[in-house]
Structure 1
């Protein structure tokens, strides 16, 4: 059993978690201060979003220097102090690594333009943020490729020197004590520079057929993974895969590739649908039966669980947490879920910081939309809705200064009650020892998802009426009425029954 198979990870959105020096930005001083909070919650792993020097065009996913700390987050000494404290608190730390592209102000762009992807004339590829994926450089008299913002220049993975640079970066952070990496959009690496035009669907939307999952990309990832494991045999490698095809997502999770990959078909659904959730649990078992899936309902790239799925209903939010922390897989809690944080709301374009939302706003204006309509589009498209300043269960504010992101930030009325639920659930998970148990049963009856793992039966009732189940055993977690051998589970409740031997 590998250490991460029993772990519960907590995503820290660095800019918005805890500001230790009152400048409005989260930092390592603040994160270190809040480690006791995370220890009390019961998480055993942390995933940190990028904290490297950056232009901050895409909030750190445009890296200017891979082997340093951006001053807004502190210094390398602050990072090392945090890492020492994290170890003392029993927490492993994995960090985001962005190897698809660098910021345009990275020293490589001038010193080593051959590290990047160039073309004499653009093809029809569009940026994932909208508009052409090619921008002209007068200095090179050619167009450089950027699958995201024009300030995020894609690396050319046909060049052996790029691989050597990447290995140095990975080794540097492993030697600093990190337990692993979350590889950002790792299947987008450019390893084929023939550039066929992408097709379009019947609605006129581009199908990103040739600018991701290129032939040879898995060989590149295998070399990176092998290098990491040679440096640190128990390293944890997580992949963000730009795809909604589970077979494609799963193809990157193998012994010679990544340990796990995020399945956004499960985690980022827009509306609560118990059949959709159940079907995806079943599909993950069918497609990746010998590996653990990932379980999450939120991240920095989507609306918050409480607003998007629970419709501000605390019971539904708790039930989603119950499922995430008891189903088979490795859970990832997004910071703020444990206190019921809701979507950030923006009343003016100047309050936004996310390039995706701002670009959608300007494209809408170009298409003739009114300013109000364009703002509505921006609120729908922006990832900032899930990036508001952290609201802690103990009432401590994110910062004593003006936060880096504006807008209205809300949470559930009783943060502490929600926090206590997560804490009890995590305590039970740790004590019961079912984390790596396979499903003995996985069924959907009425609106209740049921699964047996080890000696426990888990019942997640997503229905609006009571659900009755005839079983012999005792209640191990949650609340349910008992009548003879029946357990009656209330609407939007999760319970665990310890079955009789």
Structure 2
């Protein structure tokens, strides 16, 4: 089997924010098609599309109302087919984001289910009788509210692990599984090359109703509502189903930032990989914690199995703002992104170093998680300033700002006012960076192409070392070729003594590093890649 993902650079497109092709202020497939050559230049081999299905967009598309169509905001099925055809012609594969844990309450399935207790689709969702006139148990949603909503018409509660408009499916019902597998077939028939599986370990597979415990901080611990018995067998069945169609890539979002929870789901008979939030979702850059997680990942993933490496997504603040990184530090991080033994994912806009979106008032907010936090603070009679702090702390809008394509109005994203507010950026636009060979865009592009060219970056072993304070060294080796990437995250120059036989291949900036004999000198906040060709080729 051609495991194309082993040598692929992935790029996440947040659908409404990437590029508007029809002038309505919302990104769409026409806009994405117009930027495929840009992605090719960057070195992207696969694009991950966030949900593009019809949706009321309570949770920006993760509340699906029709699994087998395209939301009119993004185009039509014909637009999707044209996009896939053009992407494939350029050698770019397509990863679709599928939400199998829950549907919108506007989905036809749920409308039937809630219509009566005896409807054939009643058991497609999780309905429970009240207990002592209240919710069936103490479960909370991942948005911090009660996870049960009373349906007045039928007198029963339905379960929602996210917003009340996102009703959880009952995966103990085999009809649900059959319908979802048919959905996957539909998109594979249209040329999709793989699936990103949203909160896939949250599936409700049993009738467990045990109350969740509360942690020392007063927050509920999601113990019985995730990772339920049967989840591994479900993943086996899913893998068997899609792999019959060929080289379909499966990457799962596991709702945890703990490596010992994330790692087991990437296995020979389960998923190809999972998102490593243990590293990618760190709120701050703590060098020791950061390198410790990298080291664990290098040790835990061996043989055919690789982790993912990413520093941005639609669910977290952009990394330059989150880590307080300038362009020099961003180049260091990108060096690691492309040389570590993992599947690299770039979040749109990170290639030019885009900053966070900030909500200055509730009117700026679009994300339900932030809106819920704001109104909760309001209900507690907190002052407006504190309510806004709560909003910005919880909001996922930070990274959902529209792409900064040019210095035209609205950053060249659209000819109309964007769906989310436009805020100025502190970095040059994509158009300017494409023209500047020394830009951050071109540095990352060079790394992406290097990853495709050097076998050691796809096949080599990996070791993580810290040879000096705030200095990270990543060793890759295979018969015939060795590579070392060194990143100085400190604010001071540093000199390192390496073994003989290395040649300086690439530096983060001109003059950032020099190699004299076996002494590597690095400037502050700079990095280098070194190569060694050996005689022991297999």
TM-score band w.r.t. shorter chain: over 0.9
Shift of 1:263: 1.1
Unaligned residue ranges in structure 2 (runs of 5+): 113-120, 434-438
Contact 2:514–2:520 (8 Å) recurs in 1: yes
Which residue is 1:99 aligned to? 100
- 2:495 paired residue among 444, 462, 468: 468
Which residue is 1:482 aligned to? 515
Contact 1:246–1:287 (8 Å) recurs in 2: no
**1:440-479 equivalences in 2 (<5 Å):** 441-446=463-468, 447-454=470-477, 455-471=482-498, 472=500, 473-478=502-507, 479=512
**1:262-341 equivalences in 2 (<5 Å):** 262-290=275-303, 291-309=305-323, 311-341=324-354
Contact 2:487–2:525 (8 Å) recurs in 1: yes
Counterpart Cα distance in 2 of 1:127 and 1:52: 23
Listed one character per residue, the Cα deviations across residues 435-465 of structure 1 (whole Å, up to 9, x for unaligned) are: 3233354211222111221321111111222
Which residue is 2:527 aligned to? 494
Which residue is 1:24 aligned to? 25
Counterpart Cα distance in 2 of 1:90 and 1:124: 49
**1:154-303 equivalences in 2 (<5 Å):** 154-230=168-244, 232-290=245-303, 291-303=305-317
Larger deviation, residues 75-84 vs 278-287:
278-287
Distance 1:440 1:297, change over 3 A: closer
Which residue is 1:70 aligned to? 71
Contact 2:504–2:515 (8 Å) recurs in 1: no
**1:336-375 equivalences in 2 (<5 Å):** 336-375=349-388
Matched, 1:404 2:438: no
- 1:115 paired residue among 111, 120, 124: 124
Shift of 1:397: 1.0
> Cα RMSD between the aligned structures?
1.5
Counterpart Cα distance in 2 of 1:500 and 1:354: 50
Shift of 1:494: 2.0
Listed one character per residue, the Cα deviations across residues 240-277 of structure 1 (whole Å, up to 9, x for unaligned) are: 00112212111111111100001111001111122222
Distance 1:10 1:315, change over 3 A: same
SS of equivalent to 2:167: strand
Counterpart Cα distance in 2 of 1:2 and 1:21: 36
Shift of 1:312: 4.5
Which residue is 1:386 aligned to? 399
Counterpart Cα distance in 1 of 2:103 and 2:151: 16
Counterpart Cα distance in 1 of 2:328 and 2:462: 27
Larger deviation, residues 100-109 vs 454-463:
454-463
The alignment's TM-score, normalised by the length of structure 2, stands at 0.90
* Runs of 4+ displaced beyond 4 Å: 393-396
Listed one character per residue, the Cα deviations across residues 191-233 of structure 1 (whole Å, up to 9, x for unaligned) are: 1222100000111100000110011122112211211111x22
Larger deviation, residues 31-40 vs 418-427:
418-427
Counterpart Cα distance in 2 of 1:255 and 1:350: 47
SS of equivalent to 1:254: coil
Listed one character per residue, the Cα deviations across residues 270-299 of structure 1 (whole Å, up to 9, x for unaligned) are: 111222221111111332323101000000
Listed one character per residue, the Cα deviations across residues 108-162 of structure 1 (whole Å, up to 9, x for unaligned) are: 0132222000111221001111211000112322000000000000000000000
Shift of 1:489: 1.4
Distance 1:409 1:352, change over 3 A: farther
Shift of 1:409: 4.5
Distance 1:92 1:440, change over 3 A: closer
Matched, 1:419 2:460: no
Counterpart Cα distance in 1 of 2:494 and 2:226: 45
Contact 1:306–1:313 (8 Å) recurs in 2: yes
Counterpart Cα distance in 1 of 2:413 and 2:140: 37
SS of equivalent to 1:498: strand
Listed one character per residue, the Cα deviations across residues 290-334 of structure 1 (whole Å, up to 9, x for unaligned) are: 31010000000000011001x151111111111111111000000
SS of equivalent to 2:446: helix
Listed one character per residue, the Cα deviations across residues 405-461 of structure 1 (whole Å, up to 9, x for unaligned) are: 125242424751111111122222222232323335421122211122132111111
Larger deviation, residues 448-457 vs 265-274:
448-457
Counterpart Cα distance in 1 of 2:374 and 2:106: 26
SS of equivalent to 1:87: helix
Counterpart Cα distance in 2 of 1:441 and 1:318: 20
